Amino acid sequence: MIQNNTVLNIIDNSGAKIAECIKVYSGYKRRYATIGDTILVTIKSLRSKRRGISKIKKGELYKALIIRTKFKNELVSGDSLKFKENSAILLTKQNKFVGTRVFGSVPKIFKKTKFFKLITLSSGLIL
């Protein structure tokens, strides 16, 4: 469960390293976001190798798609997903991916969403 002021790791090659959630989208007075939801984030720190050439600057606002959460996510099949970290990838205002690769694997849940391209950018699938 991601809410305001939650710190997230950015797991794409956009140049950002850590971001903080500002707002949870999709819903009236919605408080929590889970895997597959979009949020508004601000960039807190950048990766050291990409600082000079990155288009992303510290303090900018971006949309983000949540990929992993520490909170257990129950699936319809009875299985559950739980990760060691909260992580997301950055999106533009038109819901396009900022980065061109995703580090690590992503849940199979994204096969049924509008972010199907995410599967081709990642290294593998989980459940």
**pLDDT, tens only, 80-98:** 888 999 999 999 999 999 9
- Cα–Cα distance for residue pair 109/75, rounded to 1 Å: 9
What are the structural domains of the chain? 7-126 (2.40.150.20)
**Average of per-residue pLDDT across 71-75:** 86
What mean pLDDT value characterizes the chain?
90
- Predicted TM-score (pTM) of the model is 0.90
Evaluated on CA atoms 59, 65, 67, 70, the torsion sign reads positive
pLDDT of residue 120: 87
pLDDT of residue 114: 86
pLDDT of residue 110: 86
- Res 50 pLDDT > 70: no
CB-based contact 67:41 (threshold 8 Å)? no
- Cα–Cα distance for residue pair 23/126, rounded to 1 Å: 27
Phi-psi region of 81 (alpha: psi -120 to 50; beta: other; left: phi over 0): beta
Of 37-51, 56-70, 73-87, give the range with the top mean pLDDT: 56-70
